[in-house]
């Protein structure tokens, strides 16, 4: 049961955001820019970074929903998403993404763990400064979203079908648009 | 040296925010609402939560700048040092102590917060909104701290710089940049 009076019909971060629309607006705006805005990283790659960090933080709601969204962008390949969560070095993703996931994994623990060698490895596989910046910020931001979802003890269902359905909609419409259903005019 | 080509002379988070204005906007707005806008928790209390979490994450820039903002709001820098060292023996209210317990758990892992922690905060008068904001401030600083450290930003050791920044943050909040131009050679 959530630690505070959240709407039980809104699982995960949705219940928390509906409770406090003022902070929900920038929280949604940030994830929208990072994961759906213009970028040389594909939406699938960015969702995989978010999924991987959320999986390492053991936040079921976040790694399930972002994993589902990633799968939509990756042609429905749920096995690839599972492989990235379990051991991304063995996954069928590019060397550049593997190097960025290594950076994201360090940021998930502590930003100070990122070394010049980690960054050099990403550059050697073609990563740009902006891609490295966004990787660090996606990883950092999901350390926030995950703690927000877990720290309020929000409802985190274990029904994969629920995330699969929701994931299709978020992938199609984006974060700000789907948030309007529980934030109303406050989303803008 | 920063890991990427950040604008020179911008310390800590101001380098990342200047580098990427698209993500800076919602990050500034979030900090402004959580720390500066009207709230039943005072700005000093909220800055202490931010400082405490940043201190536990060992992020020099964030604990120094928010510590300076807290000192400015509270008119007392020694309280900030006491909260960082051992908040249970610091001269702050029991409600804030209970909220700092929650913040410290969120800093590690949100799942560590127990119903007993929340009941203790309520027993000292904390509202649901105050508990919510405590959890989100702690979570948000786990982002800000990792952003600042993960980019290898320049984090000066000059206390005067932070005192000046803290005063400006305390007075004006977070929507407008507190560092508008490079602050000298490094």
For B24-72, the pLDDT digits (tens) are 999 999 999 999 999 999 999 999 999 999 999 999 999 999 999 999 9
CATH superfamily of A26-175: AhpD-like (1.20.1290.10)
| Residue A74 confidence class, pLDDT cut points 50, 70, 90 | very high
**How does pLDDT run across B1-36, given as a tens digit for each residue?**
999 999 999 999 999 999 999 999 999 999 999 999
Q: What is the mean pLDDT of residues A29-55?
A: 98
Domain boundaries of chain B, sorted by first residue? 24-172
pLDDT of amino acid B12: 98
Count the alpha carbons within 13 Å of B17 in the hemisphere toward its beta carbon.
23
B residues 7-66 lying closer than 8 A (beta carbon) to A: 16, 19-20, 22-23, 25-27, 29-30, 33-34, 37, 57-59
Tokens of B132: 């919510």
Say if CB B185 and CB B39 are below 8 A apart.
Answer: no
Chain B: closest CA distance from residue A107 (Å): 6
pLDDT of residue A188: 47
Cβ of residue B183 closer than 8 Å to a chain A Cβ: no
Provide the pLDDT for residue A70: 98
Query: B179 pLDDT band (50/70/90 cuts)?
Result: confident
pTM: 0.98
Q: A152 to chain B nearest CA, in Å?
A: 7
CB contacts of A153 in chain B (<8 Å) are 110-111, 113
A84-105 tens-digit pLDDT? 999 999 999 999 999 999 999 9
What is the predicted pLDDT for the residue at A187? Answer: 44
A20–B133 C-beta distance less than 8 A: yes
In percent, how much of chain A has pLDDT > 70? 98
Share of chain A above pLDDT 90, in %: 95
How do the domains of chain A map onto residue ranges? 26-175
B contact residues 87-126, partner A, Cβ 8 Å cutoff? 102, 105-107, 109-111, 113, 115, 118
Domain B24-172, CATH: 1.20.1290.10
Is pLDDT at A12 greater than 80 in this prediction?
yes
Residue the block writes with tokens 């209390």: B45
Angstroms from A111 CA to nearest CA on chain B: 4
pLDDT digits (tens, 9 = 90+) for A28-38: 999 999 999 99
For the stretch B101-130, pLDDT in tens is 999 999 999 999 999 999 999 999 999 999
In A, residues 91-120, which contact B (CB 8 Å cutoff)?
103, 106-108, 110-112, 114, 116, 119
């Amino acid at each position: 049961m959530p630690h505070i009076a959240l709407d039980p019909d809104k699982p995960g971060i949705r219940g928390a955001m509906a409770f406090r629309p003022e902070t929900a607006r920038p929280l949604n705006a940030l994830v929208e820019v990072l994961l759906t805005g213009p970028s040389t990283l594909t939406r699938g790659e960015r969702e995989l970074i978010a999924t991987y960090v959320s999986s390492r933080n053991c936040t079921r709601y976040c790694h399930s929903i972002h994993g589902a969204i990633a799968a939509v962008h990756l042609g429905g390949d749920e096995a690839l998403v599972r492989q990235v969560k379990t051991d991304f070095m063995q996954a069928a993703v590019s060397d550049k993404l593997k190097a960025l996931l290594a950076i994201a994994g360090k940021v998930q623990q502590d930003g100070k763990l990122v070394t010049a060698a980690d960054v050099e490895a990403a550059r050697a596989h073609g990563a740009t400064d902006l891609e490295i910046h966004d990787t660090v910020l996606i990883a950092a931001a999901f350390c926030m979203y995950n703690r927000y979802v877990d720290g309020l003890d929000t409802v985190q269902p274990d029904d994969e079908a629920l995330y699969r359905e929701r994931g299709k909609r978020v992938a199609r419409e984006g974060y700000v648009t789907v948030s309007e259903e529980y934030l109303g005019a406050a989303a803008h | 040296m920063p890991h990427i080509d950040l604008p020179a002379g911008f310390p800590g988070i101001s380098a990342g925010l200047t580098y990427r204005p698209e993500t800076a906007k919602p990050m500034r707005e979030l900090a402004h609402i959580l720390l500066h806008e009207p709230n039943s928790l005072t700005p000093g209390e909220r800055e202490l939560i931010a400082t405490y979490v940043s201190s536990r994450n060992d992020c020099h820039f964030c604990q120094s700048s928010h510590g300076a903002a807290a000192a400015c709001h509270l008119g007392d820098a020694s309280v900030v040092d006491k909260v960082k060292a051992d908040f249970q023996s610091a001269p702050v209210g029991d409600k804030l102590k209970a909220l700092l317990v929650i913040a410290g758990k969120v800093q590690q892992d949100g799942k560590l917060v127990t119903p007993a922690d929340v009941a203790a905060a309520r027993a000292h008068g904390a509202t649901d909104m105050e508990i919510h904001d405590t959890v989100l401030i702690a979570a948000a600083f786990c982002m800000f701290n990792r952003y600042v450290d993960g980019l290898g930003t320049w984090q000066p050791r000059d206390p005067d710089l932070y005192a000046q920044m803290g005063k400006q943050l305390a007075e004006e909040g977070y929507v407008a940049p507190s560092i508008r131009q490079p602050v000298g050679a490094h």
